Amino acid sequence: MYEAMTASVTASMPVSESAYGFTQTDIEGQALFSLPFGDIVNFLTPYTAVLFVFALTFTIIALISKPERQVDTVMGGDAYYTKDISRETLRFQRFMAIACGLATMGGIMAGDVFNFTLFTAFIGITNIGIVAAVKNKHILDNAFEYGLLAMIGTLPLFVGAALVLATTGTLSMWILFTPEVAVPLFAKLLLVIGVIAEGMAPVFVAKAEITRAPGAPYILMVHVSSLLIFLRVIEIVISM
């Protein structure tokens, strides 16, 4: 069974025949395929497959495109200036954007609660890297605040995963998504507020400068990753 699965990881596998016994959940349907790494068995469902394609598309865009150059006009005059992005900043931001895209894809595919929280923390770190590379006082101020948020956010995030393990005895979503296993509301709440901080939701609320930083499409990776990881955590919390 193991050899057969590793040989055809990309082939779609009907769940009734899989070794993990996945059951139908409310919003995402049956698993399309599974990718086992020991106890961590990643999977894609029709719902997460859509998110995965989004993440993949934006990662490829970040990989091949050149950055935008924002133009500022001076109020009351004809003058304008273009914000230039240095070669070093470009290379660093592109690296971080690709890492962020890979982390997002990992988080979307995660079939294990602790693995999911790790990928979420990964997204938080790469987001800090992307925005901290912009040399602008206001943006760096925001990036500092966001860094603090992400640091605080890891506490509820990992406590949530630890509580899931303590109260159910397992971390695998294949088992947690079955109706027999009940995850306490507190653990779900902790997971959600942890992801809220890592996905920089409070920064969007304040309409902070960070969300309009120059350097698209690399900056856009921040928005894409946070949006996709929110969609994923909501799916996890509803299914658990």
Partner 1 sequence: MQLIIRKVSRILQNHNNLTAVYALVVIIVAAIGLISIAAGEITFEKDQLYPKTINPDSPLNPYDRGGSPFVPADIKAQYPGNFPAIGYITGYLSPFATALIKISPYFGTTIVAHPGGILDEILYATRGLDTIVETSILFVAFTTAMFLFRRDEE
**Residues within the interface to partner 1 (CB under 8 A):** 1-2, 19-20, 36-41, 88, 92, 95-96, 99, 103, 106, 112, 114-115, 118-119, 121-122, 125-126, 128-129, 132-133, 135, 141-142, 145, 148-149, 152-153, 155-156, 163, 165-172, 175, 184-186, 189-190, 193, 196-197, 202-203, 205-209
Pick 27 or 138: Cβ nearer partner 1: 138
Pick 72 or 141: Cβ nearer partner 1: 141
Residue 177 Cβ vs partner 1, minimum distance, rounded to whole Å: 14
Which one-letter amino acid corresponds to residue 16? Answer: S
Residue 90 Cβ vs partner 1, minimum distance, rounded to whole Å: 12
Question: What is the DSSP code (8-state) at residue 84?
Answer: P
Residue 30 Cβ vs partner 1, minimum distance, rounded to whole Å: 19
Identify any residues that bridge with 196 across adjacent strands, giving them in sequence order: none
Residue 225 Cβ vs partner 1, minimum distance, rounded to whole Å: 13
Residues 6+ apart with CB under 8 A from 137: none
Question: What is the DSSP code (8-state) at residue 16?
Answer: G
Residue 26 Cβ vs partner 1, minimum distance, rounded to whole Å: 23
Residues 173 and 158: their CA atoms lie apart, in Å, by: 16
Q: What share of the chain is helix, strand, coil (3-state, %, to 5)?
A: 65, 10, 30
String of DSSP letters for 198-218: HTTHHHHHTT-GGGG-S-TTH
Pick 50 or 175: Cβ nearer partner 1: 175
